[in-house]
């Protein structure tokens, strides 16, 4: 069954917990669903979803377990709050938080140290795609995670497809996932992310080496999120 992870990004107040409850109500036997809310909602959501089979994840973490890092949250704290997954290397974090490959290697180690499942994001810009360098770019990004391939989930998210309504062609997604699988092997689940919605989910999730989806905007409404899950 496909793994469908919803990334709420910086969206959601306590009232949003109702939507997570609706996801749990609509979950079918065997569905593998994860919601990554903002950290303010993590503990409450983990408690609300306890026993439903819908898991909760975080969107980023600090590499240290604790210390003088004002405003930051460690992987251990996220685990303690009820998270079982943690996204790292999302293009928005690479861009806004200055996540470098070196820093991401430390975050990956922190997530594994805390006993969380890392969801490591990679993806190219439109400029790189148009220059024909997408696969080489992603392969270079994968160097951070290659050593832990069996313990990580990797999400391919072309930056130009995030929140734009645009997606690569099915052939381009398949080619990228084939290239990632060749690097990482059978033990790593590979997700696609970038404008996934109920209408395109069946085609994307049927592609070879696409084991699931990382969903942004369409994860905010339970109906859409479940529509994606049930398209697989």
Residues in the annotated binding site: 7-9, 163, 195, 216-217
Closest to 79 (Cα-Cα) out of 56, 104, 108: 56
- Give 37 or 193: the residue with its C-beta nearer to ligand G3H: 193
For the packed helices 17-26 and 222-229, what is the interaxial angle rounded to 10 degrees? 30
DSSP type of residue 183:
H
- Looking at the chain, how many residues does it have? 232
Helical (H) or strand (E) element with 176: helix 170-184
Task: Kindly indicate which of the ranges 24-32, 42-50, 103-111, 191-199 contains the residues binding ligand G3H, using the contact rule CB under 6 A.
Answer: 191-199
- Selected catalytic residue, list 55, 92, 124, 157: 157
Query: Where in 56-115 is the site for ligand G3H (CB under 6 A)?
Result: 90
Residues of each annotated binding site for substrate: 7-9, 163, 195, 216-217
Q: Which of 74, 93, 80, 83 is nearest to 36 (CA)?
A: 83
195: contact with ligand G3H by CB under 6 A: yes
**Residue 215 is encoded by which pair of tokens?**
């969903």
90 catalytic, yes or no? yes
Tell which residue, 232, 228, 230, 231, has the closest CA to residue 218: 228
Q: Of 144 and 196, which has the nearer Cβ to ligand G3H? A: 196
Number of residues interacting with ligand G3H: please give it, by CB under 6 A. 14
The count of C-alpha atoms lying within 13 angstroms of the C-alpha of 35, restricted to the half-sphere facing its C-beta, is 38
Indicate the residue among 113 and 197 with the shorter CB distance to ligand G3H: 197
Q: Minimal distance in Å, beta carbon 157 to ligand G3H?
A: 5
DSSP state of 76: H
What is the per-residue binding string for ligand G3H in 128-167, x denoting contact by CB under 6 A? -----------------------------x----xx----
Task: Write each residue from 198 to 217 as x if it is in contact with ligand G3H (CB under 6 A), else as -, in one continuous string.
Answer: ----------------xxxx
Residue whose CB is less far from ligand G3H, 31 or 224: 224
For residues 230 and 28, is the Cβ–Cβ distance under 8 A? yes
Beta strands in the chain (DSSP E): 3-7, 32-36, 55-58, 85-88, 117-122, 153-156, 189-193, 212-215
Would you please indicate which residues are annotated as catalytic (active-site) residues?
90, 157
Site residues for ligand G3H per CB under 6 A: 7, 90, 157, 162-163, 193-196, 214-218
């Amino acid at each position: 069954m496909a793994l469908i992870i919803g990334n709420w990004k910086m969206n959601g107040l306590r009232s949003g917990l109702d939507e997570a409850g609706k996801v749990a109500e609509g979950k079918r036997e065997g569905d593998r669903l994860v919601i990554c809310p903002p950290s303010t909602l993590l503990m409450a959501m983990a408690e609300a979803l306890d026993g439903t089979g819908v898991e909760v994840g975080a969107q980023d973490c600090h590499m240290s377990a604790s210390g003088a890092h004002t405003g930051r949250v460690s992987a251990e704290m996220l685990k303690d709050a009820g998270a079982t997954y943690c996204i790292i290397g999302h293009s928005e974090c690479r861009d806004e938080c200055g996540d470098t490959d070196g820093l991401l290697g430390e975050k990956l180690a922190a997530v594994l140290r805390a006993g969380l499942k890392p969801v490591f994001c990679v993806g190219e810009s439109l400029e790189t795609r148009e220059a024909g360098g997408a696969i080489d770019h992603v392969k270079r990004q994968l160097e951070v995670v290659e050593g832990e391939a069996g313990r990580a989930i990797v999400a391919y998210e072309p930056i130009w497809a995030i929140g734009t309504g645009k997606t690569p062609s099915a052939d381009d997604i398949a080619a990228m996932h084939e290239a990632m699988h060749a690097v990482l092997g059978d033990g790593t689940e590979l997700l696609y992310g970038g404008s996934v919605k109920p209408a395109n989910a069946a085609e994307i999730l049927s592609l070879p080496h696409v084991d699931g989806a990382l969903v942004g905007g369409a994860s905010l409404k339970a109906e859409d999120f479940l529509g994606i899950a049930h398209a697989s």
